[in-house]
Structure 1
Amino acid sequence: MESNQEKKLSDLLNGIPVITISGSQDVTISSIIIDSRRVLPGSMFVALRGTQTDGHQFIETTVNAGASAVLCEALPEKLNDKVTYIQTEDSAAAMGMIAAAFYGHPSQKLSLVGVTGTNGKTSVATFLFQLFRALGYRCGLLSTVQNQIEDEIIPSTHTTPDAVALNKLLSEMLEKNCSHVFMEVSSHSVAQHRITGLHFAGGIFTNITHDHLDFHKTFDNYIKAKKGFFDQLPKSAFALVNVDDRRGSVMVQNTRAKVETYSLQTLASFKGKIISDTLAGMHMEINQQEVWFRVIGRFNAYNLLAVYGAALLLGESSGAVLTELSNLKSPPGRFEQFHSADNIVGIVDYAHTPDALENVLETITHLRHGNEKVITVVGCGGNRDAEKRPKMAAIACKYSNLVILTSDNPRYEDPLDILEQMRKGVPAQDYKKTIVIPDRREAIFKAGLEANPEDIILIAGKGHENYQEINGVKHHFDDKEVLLEVFKKHLSN
């Protein structure tokens, strides 16, 4: 990320744990860069050890390109006397603190709230963004779907951007007079120090189930990464946790923040109860006040409780919060409903973990009022946690009358290999109601062909995504667009 601002290196290194510094600290830094190809004269190059490449091998290239300083964990054998080398134990952690200083610590001047957990992060962060805008605040959003400054949409590539991009975005939000920013905090971002150096007003824990084991290797490591976010919260912050998840209390064991809780099942600071749940909306009681919401499903009841609790902890009044919450709609690709002219219900959802898929299908089961068929179209992403593939198929079979296994984002894997692993989770008694169609478009059309009026089609796994990633290339593909094509075809038949 380039910037038109400049900072003296000595100011950026204030309070940073370093092993050695070779060269002058009086140099001026014009940008902090992690991609060696983007180094310009005056840049500080940060050598990060990544999963694919090690930035240390590009140090000489960046020095030749005019880098004024290099932040690294291991010094190169040959040092250039015109360059300042800063050796630190952890380049990523140091970069987080340096990036915050470079942009003037924007998070300290904002009410920044982070949301972490396996499922619900996007919904909670987006609901908070919508709610606080409705309450009259200027807000920023950092989410899987998109980054947003008020109405300006900035496409996102990761759940959490790198530390430099993140601080740059926060400084832009501050420049545009935002007072509140709501962001998803992924387990990767904690483990990779992307949020190091940020000051949070609060943190929210939604739930935790098996995911991202391709990166974290063990479930224990995954839990530790999520918990690491709460360990970093300052004493002035709040830590709001879902105590119906048995690991909710684990998350806040070592936090300095003020712990608050939310629940549908037990006593909590923010207690909810579902009175009724239909395709039209959900009637709930929250802290003894009855409210009707446009969003539906038990999983959304938890999301609403988290949002309600966070808003009150940020100083808002219960009445104003519940009034505005009752008008909110689900974020794109999160239990997003479509209806055909002949009354087939289509639901597009991002559910790509076993737990998320079960939540969505359980909700659909509760919403059925007759003999409607449930037709589920589902796949699993390539180069990701393979353990969940048979589980996803088994869950789809448990709740559906017809299951169509198809491609998601195969990435660099053979789609047929992924589908074979999914098929292993299909119980013998469910073979007859399971079809394998590798082409996702064809699979969605097949679902439409099999559906009758009143039936419910669930297309799971990609939600808001408008692409399909195959062999490193992103091809345009939007589940919603294809579903609407299917519904048009129904109209013409």
Structure 2
Amino acid sequence: MILLRDILYKVTIDKVIGNTAVAIRNIDFDSRKIGLDDVFVAIRGTVSDGHSFIKMAADKGAIAIVCEEIPSETINGITYVQVEDSHQALAMMASNYFGNPSEDLKLIGVTGTNGKTTVSTLLYDLFTKAGYEVGLLSTVKILVGKKEFKATHTTPDSITINEYLRKMVDAGVEFCFMEVSSHGIHQKRTEGLSFKGGIFTNLSHDHLDYHKDFKEYRDVKKLFFDRLPKTAFALVNADDKNGPVMLQNTAAYSYTYALKSHADYRAQILENQFNGLLLKINNNELWVRLIGAFNAYNLLAIYATAELLGLETIEILQLMSTLESVDGRFQHLISEKNITAIVDYAHTPDALKNVLETINSIRTGNESLITVVGCGGDRDVTKRPKMGNIAASLSTKVIFTSDNPRNEDPEKIIAQIEAGVGAEHFKKTLSITERKQAIKTACQLAEERDIILIAGKGHETYQEIQGERFEFDDFKIVQELLKALNK
């Protein structure tokens, strides 16, 4: 039996009406899921305000309401708890409800604009190969040991996080690697969690539809490091100018990694090819199957984290040489006609630039680079012309197309992308709204040894249009199209 007062531990409470010694069944912030003897937490969201659903929750049998503003009319038999911040309260309550599972794990958070999924997933792979029971909370999937669950958000809600952490503890998991998004930090979904370490990959233009400006976006990321305990480690990319900013107020042990700057962990790219990288990490050479400078940073962060978590250097190097790219992250195939197709999640200007520069650094210049790219709807509009400019500047030919238009007109999105293309590059651009047709056109234009980059959706197996999700997998589609052209 769980009492209301037990799950309110460490929650900042302003006022209580009723009895906190009542037994509770479940906790939720969705009034539709509330049942008899549940606790409803009223959250002020970006779309709706949970306070509007307090009466609904009460009618459905809630025994307690946690809110920032107690309703003018209260109901006898229901306990009302007024808190300063419902988001923070929910996170603390969720941790308490599930028995604070993060305290029984070595939980490592990975934050930054690009690289979160690659770093967290490959750390999961490396530690699994090392013989440990490992958990993963990522954009792509949630793993409890080897059991897989579908992910819906980069950083899930507080209840979901703690529910899976509890599953991990019960399954004997020792290490958990978790993507931590700016949304998750800002909405306090990670409050109440006990992190043993934090990793900062980089920071570039993204989510300015949500954050009012870049400074706020950066400062929200910094909050994650500000809240790390002195027993944890903070590992940051010293080549990113925002890396040192993350460490300014952290109590954690601070470490840096870099390819260009002085740092605790350093790497040098000796060879960069389509079949892998030859790296020198802290004077140790190793060959890895991942490609590009951006992956050299990711691999260096993985190396440093593994060492900070106690693995031996020789074991880390051996395991890193067996790692393979994450789905939708520089995932590539070579057709029978020797055409290379690359699918990558690059959906920010910086990520797109990194991928294109990587391809250009490997190719001889005799091949054409054909890029298929779009931008998601209902998201940051300011990055669209930047994406257009980068794609046109660094490609031989560009096809602008639909990504996940969501509730926007895809042709208007494409027009905003095209607005960033310089006059000198406009002749090499095409606009084909239908994404499959755009990919097909790229395949038809490609000749032997040419390279096709399909950017933006990566691992996603759907396309979201006007509130509906339709099956759409970039990698499967280009694979089928290139195979058909070989006949």
TM over 0.5: yes
Alignment: residue pair count: 487
Shift of 1:341: 0.7
Partner of 1:98: 93
Alignment of 1:106-125 (within 5 A): 106-125=101-120
Alignment of 1:349-428 (within 5 A): 349-428=344-423
Of residues 213, 228, 245, the one that matches 1:218 is 213
Partner of 2:306: 311
Give the whole-Å Cα distance in 1 for the aligned partners of 2:307 and 2:57. 48
SS at match of 1:418: helix
Percent of aligned pairs with the same amino acid: 50
Amino acid in structure 2 at the alignment position of 1:268: A
Partner of 2:445: 450
Alignment of 1:240-251 (within 5 A): 240-251=235-246
Which 10-residue stretch deviates more, 201-210 or 24-33?
Answer: 24-33
Give the whole-Å Cα distance in 2 for the aligned partners of 1:377 and 1:266. 34
SS at match of 1:283: strand
Shift of 1:26: 1.1
Amino acid in structure 1 at the alignment position of 2:276: G
Alignment of 1:96-245 (within 5 A): 96-245=91-240
Of residues 41, 45, 68, the one that matches 2:40 is 45
Of residues 63, 81, 85, the one that matches 1:68 is 63
SS at match of 2:26: strand
Shift of 1:27: 0.7
Contact in 1 for aligned 2:338/2:448 (Cα 8 Å) = yes
Shift of 1:151: 2.0
SS at match of 1:201: strand
Give the whole-Å Cα distance in 2 for the aligned partners of 1:178 and 1:98. 23
Shift of 1:329: 0.5
Give the whole-Å Cα distance in 2 for the aligned partners of 1:358 and 1:150. 35
Partner of 1:3: none
Of residues 249, 254, 261, the one that matches 1:254 is 249
Give the whole-Å Cα distance in 2 for the aligned partners of 1:38 and 1:10. 22
- Superposed CA offset, 1:341-376 (max 9, x none): 111000000000000000000000011024010000
Shift of 1:213: 0.4
Amino acid in structure 2 at the alignment position of 1:19: D
- Superposed CA offset, 1:252-284 (max 9, x none): 111110000000012211110000100111000
- Superposed CA offset, 1:323-342 (max 9, x none): 10111001100000111011
Give the whole-Å Cα distance in 2 for the aligned partners of 1:481 and 1:49. 40
Amino acid in structure 2 at the alignment position of 1:60: K
For structure 1, the 5+ residue unaligned runs are: 1-5
SS at match of 2:342: strand
SS at match of 1:148: strand
**1:297 equivalenced with 2:292 (yes/no):** yes
Contact in 1 for aligned 2:42/2:54 (Cα 8 Å) = yes
Amino acid in structure 1 at the alignment position of 2:13: V
Give the whole-Å Cα distance in 2 for the aligned partners of 1:303 and 1:77. 53
SS at match of 2:195: coil
- Superposed CA offset, 1:368-410 (max 9, x none): 0240100000000001000110110110111111100000000
Amino acid in structure 1 at the alignment position of 2:159: V
- Superposed CA offset, 1:104-134 (max 9, x none): 0000000000000000000000010000001
For structure 2, the 5+ residue unaligned runs are: none
- Superposed CA offset, 1:398-448 (max 9, x none): 111110000000000000110010111111111211000000000000000
Shift of 1:14: 2.2
Give the whole-Å Cα distance in 1 for the aligned partners of 2:15 and 2:232. 34
Shift of 1:481: 1.3
Give the whole-Å Cα distance in 1 for the aligned partners of 2:89 and 2:350. 36
Give the whole-Å Cα distance in 2 for the aligned partners of 1:13 and 1:185. 24
Amino acid in structure 2 at the alignment position of 1:229: F
Which 10-residue stretch deviates more, 8-17 or 477-486?
Answer: 8-17
Shift of 1:12: 1.3
**1:348 equivalenced with 2:348 (yes/no):** no
**1:286 equivalenced with 2:291 (yes/no):** no
Amino acid in structure 2 at the alignment position of 1:398: S
Moved over 3 A (4+): none
SS at match of 2:70: coil
Give the whole-Å Cα distance in 2 for the aligned partners of 1:203 and 1:8. 33
**1:276 equivalenced with 2:267 (yes/no):** no
SS at match of 1:19: strand
SS at match of 2:148: strand
Contact in 1 for aligned 2:9/2:92 (Cα 8 Å) = no
- Superposed CA offset, 1:436-462 (max 9, x none): 000000000000000001000000000
Partner of 2:3: 8
Give the whole-Å Cα distance in 1 for the aligned partners of 2:402 and 2:320. 36
Give the whole-Å Cα distance in 1 for the aligned partners of 2:365 and 2:465. 40
| TM-score after normalising by structure 2 | 0.99
